[in-house]
Amino acid sequence: MSSRFPTPTTGDLVAGISVALVLLPQSLAYAEIAGVPPHVGLFAAALPPLLAAPFVSSPYLQTGPVALTSLLTFGALSGLESVGTAPYIELAALLALIVGVARAVLGLLRVGIVAYVMSQPVLTGFTASAAILIVASQVPSMFDANPDTTGVIERAWWVLSRPNEWDSTAMLLSVATVLVVVGARRVHQLFPGVLIAVVAAVVWSEGTNYDGTVVGDLPGGFISLSLDLPYGQTPSLLVAGIVIALVGFAEPASIARTFATADRTPWSANRELVGQGVANIASGISGGFPVGGSFSRSSLNRFAGAQTQWSGAITGAFAMAAIPLSATLEALPTAVLGAIVLTAVYRLIDIPAMLQIARGSGLQGLVVLGTFAATLISAPNVERGVIAGIGLAFIVHLIRELRVDHRHEVDHETLVLRPYGVIWFVNAPHLESSFIAARAEHPQLQNLRIDFANVGRVDYGGAAKLAELVDDAVDAGLNVDIVNIAPHAKRAMAAHLGGRHGVPTLDQLADDERHQWRLRRKPPSP
């Protein structure tokens, strides 16, 4: 118990408050991305990190509203209810509850392997495309323009192509905010650039009676808990909720894994799943929307001196205490919030990483670029881009599995085939085609040797196809010899070629070779 609830330190207090001062304005901005009123972002910033803290394995992971999950939320809900309305807000809370239950169940079932459900090409393509959409969604705010069209990209293009609609004051505020936030990072990682930009903008807005678009009414008060949600809409949110649960977990899992590696400490994907599940359940019952782990806030937490999970709880408690005072932010120009989002996500548009993947592998390049394009095209339903990317990755895997890598060489009258990897019924014919081509090219062949030294596994269907190849070679008058069969492949081979061409019979196999599952359970030798 003590390992899960360590004593809080001064570093936890300083780090927790430092993160909260960044989280509060960010939560207002990310609420806009999700399509809910700004005060809902404050709800999602308070209870989730507070209740998640006892369950997480990483002392640095900071939970709350994040850009990618907010975009996924908007995509899931925008076609069901009018953005920003009461029914929309209720659906956002229900979606958070679905995401939370899904993650908690996966964690309790100890299937943390879902942290790796998306391959690197899929994740890279989706993240870059989603970041472009997030930036595009903030263009109207940064220019304080009101497009008369729908669609994230379409609205951004409408603004950018009509300079007469630009508000010069909003543009100056946006530029100033970017300079302050980015400049603060260059001064010191703990320099509160976001806080300075927000406070300065609020003071300036109130002092000059700024007539542009501002955050507006923030009810304040205290968080109220409720389970009165539109559960009848659950079927329409189930797929999106599961996608968010899986895709959104990639970031907190990466955060925990990265910091654990740097500190040479263990981490648990299962505990992080449970922690993220609890956070989203808390967000749902407190009127928030789906949340996740923030890399930037987690990095700040670590750099500010956090040592235990208490830092996250302190962040949540501070945010909860600040909600009654949120009315002080009502005069904050929305252009500033848009610029804050821009500074948080622009580095996620990693085009060089996409090109590097494409140069390294044409097929993986197809996956990364396909995911990138599918996410842009499917906006605002970006979860479809993720599904398309995972589908592409699966197809690429199948394409690779359709052929077995191998080398062949001819030594006088002997053809030596050296297959690599896994042989199964789908790719075994590729090996047969290579044999036929080599025999046609070298009619003097009298012997065939198949070397299994580099074969990882042979399934029964693959062994059956290999037996057909061997029989064809024998019928053609060749002497066949099969060598270096690994223990885990002998059973499948013995079932079809036992007692012939160097393959042992089933009776000749050792007990653990006849029952391959025991090899996986057999403890290592001392």
Same-domain check for residues 174 and 53: yes
The pLDDT value given to residue 247: 85
**379 occurs within a structural domain:** no
Whether 375 is in a domain gets the answer no
Residue 511 has pLDDT above 80, yes or no: no
Whether residue 323 is found in the same domain as residue 425? no
Query: Is 365 part of a structural domain of the chain?
Result: no
Q: How confident is the model at residue 400, as a pLDDT?
A: 73
**Whether residues 304 and 420 fall in one domain:** no
Q: Which of 323, 348, 373 is the last residue of a domain?
A: 348
Which residue among 326, 348, 370 closes a domain? 348
Instruction: For residues 283 and 207, state if they share a domain.
Output: yes
Share of the chain above pLDDT 90, in %: 49
Please give the tally of structural domains in the chain.
Answer: 2
Q: Which residues contact 524 (CB under 8 A, 6 or more apart)?
A: none
Q: Is residue 440 part of a domain?
A: yes
CATH number where 444 lies: 3.30.750.24
Evaluate whether 333 touches 171 at the Cβ level (below 8 Å).
no
Window from 19-33, 94-108, 186-200, 246-260 with minimum mean pLDDT: 246-260
Same domain, 430 and 320: no
Q: Average per-residue pLDDT in the chain?
A: 87
Tell me which of 302, 326, 348 is where a domain ends: 348
Q: What are phi and psi of 257, to 5 degrees?
A: -65, -40
User: Do 329 and 419 belong to one domain?
Assistant: no
Q: Is residue 302 part of a domain?
A: yes
Please choose, from the candidates 189, 194, 159, the residue with its C-alpha nearest in 3D space to the C-alpha of residue 176: 194
Instruction: Tell me, yes or no, whether 324 and 421 share the same domain.
Output: no
pLDDT, position 167: 95
pLDDT over 60 (residue 314):
yes
Domain carrying residue 116: 10-348
Q: Is the same domain home to 261 and 189?
A: yes
In a domain, 376, yes or no: no
pLDDT score for 208: 94
User: Is 451 in a helix, a strand, or coil?
Assistant: strand
pTM of structure: 0.78
**Lowest-confidence region among 75-79, 145-149, 311-315, 425-429:** 425-429
User: Is 3 within a domain?
Assistant: no
Task: Band the pLDDT of 175: cuts 50, 70, 90.
Answer: very high
Reading phi first (left if > 0) and then psi (alpha if -120 to 50, else beta), residue 471 is in: alpha
Q: Which tens digit of pLDDT belongs to each residue from 289-308?
A: 999 988 889 988 888 888 89
Asked if residue 267 lies in contact with residue 256, where contact means CB atoms within 8 angstroms, the answer is: yes
Is 167 within the bounds of a domain? yes
Domain co-membership, 227 together with 134: yes
The answer on 325 and 442 residing in a single domain is no
pLDDT band at 2 (very low <50, low <70, confident <90, very high): very low
Q: Are residues 343 and 411 in the same domain?
A: no
Question: Is cis: bond before 380, omega within 30 of 0?
Answer: yes
What confidence tier does 376 reach under pLDDT thresholds 50, 70, 90?
Answer: very high
pLDDT greater than 50 at residue 526:
no
- Residues 332 and 475 both lie in one domain: no
Q: Can you give the pLDDT at residue 510?
A: 61
The two three-digit tokens of residue 287, written as one number: 């009127």
> Per-residue pLDDT for 362 more than 70?
yes
Say what the pLDDT of residue 360 is: 86
158 has a pLDDT exceeding 90: yes
pLDDT tens digits along 331-361? 999 999 999 999 988 888 999 999 999 988 8
Enumerate the H helices of 346-486 as residue ranges.
Answer: 351-360, 362-378, 383-401, 428-441, 460-475
